Amino acid sequence: MADELVPPFSARNRGPQERIDSDFPETARIGLLHLLGRLVKMEYVNGEATISGELQRVARVRPGVYSWEELLLGLSWQKVFDFCERLYGYLAQDVERYNGETEQYEIVIPKSQVQEYITRELQTLFLEEHLVFEFSNGLVRRRGRRHTTEQVARAELVLGDPRLSAALVHYNKALKYFRNVSDPDYENTVKEAVCAVEATARVLFPSGGSTLGDVVKSITGSDVGQLPKSIANTFHGLYGFRNGGQGVGHGGATGGAVTKEIAEYALAVAASQIVLLVDFGAATEPDVPF
């Protein structure tokens, strides 16, 4: 398994800002220009003329002499992502060296390894620029739907409370498992997301019990300041899937397979539940006289 791609410091410490959607900003384009220069120097692509030709093709301009910067800065943001996919699938090449003994060219770095390098560099660039997209298996994909992104950002904000540090650890693990480009783990995404909800509930309602089910049951009711039963059932549903989902909580469980879509749903629902518990807990705290 490839090493996990860790976001750079600037991305890890940016905070719960909205990720950039529907754009490929100028700073990202400049970073891509640097990557292209490095790929040419390493012979991972077949020279500057090949890159220029492909940029012209993507831009749909007449063949001619253009600078990379002129072409790349002039592309629409969608076309830049198209070029990233073409860079991986079309421009990447085997790196060959001439062997004087055999008088033949031999492959020293296969195209697949070049593509792995391009994937990691593009993914790092996307993370540095806080783009809502990721690059994996040669394609640009959204890193979760807009709704999920917004809910995750809200959960990360409330989990900044020092009391909820354990819950934040669990939720960060869920995000790590979901966002791992080379080897996503959707089962553990669900498990850690629900663990984050449970850790939040136990801290905010310490007398409610030791499990999420116990805590939710203790605060459920029809009176003011209690959690309505129909809302409480959403907690029980996700908690039940954490225990019964195939490969999630217990070996051999047959409660249903975890797909990418289910894992993303669990991330979003868990985020909403964490925010609700924090808000609910704050509303039920007694006023402190001064």
Greater confidence (12 vs 36) lies with: 36
pTM (predicted TM-score)? 0.57
Domain ranges of the chain: 9-14+21-142, 146-284
Q: Which helix (H) or strand (E) holds 98?
A: strand 95-99
User: What average pLDDT does the segment 17-21 reach?
Assistant: 68
For residue range 148-159, what is the model confidence (pLDDT) as tens digits?
877 888 898 899
Pick from 284, 283, 280, 132: nearest CA to 197: 280
| pLDDT value at residue 226 | 85
For residue range 52-80, what is the model confidence (pLDDT) as tens digits?
999 999 999 998 888 888 999 999 999 99
What is the CATH architecture of 146-284?
Up-down Bundle (1.20)
Q: Are strands 104-109 and 133-136 parallel, antiparallel or unpaired?
A: unpaired
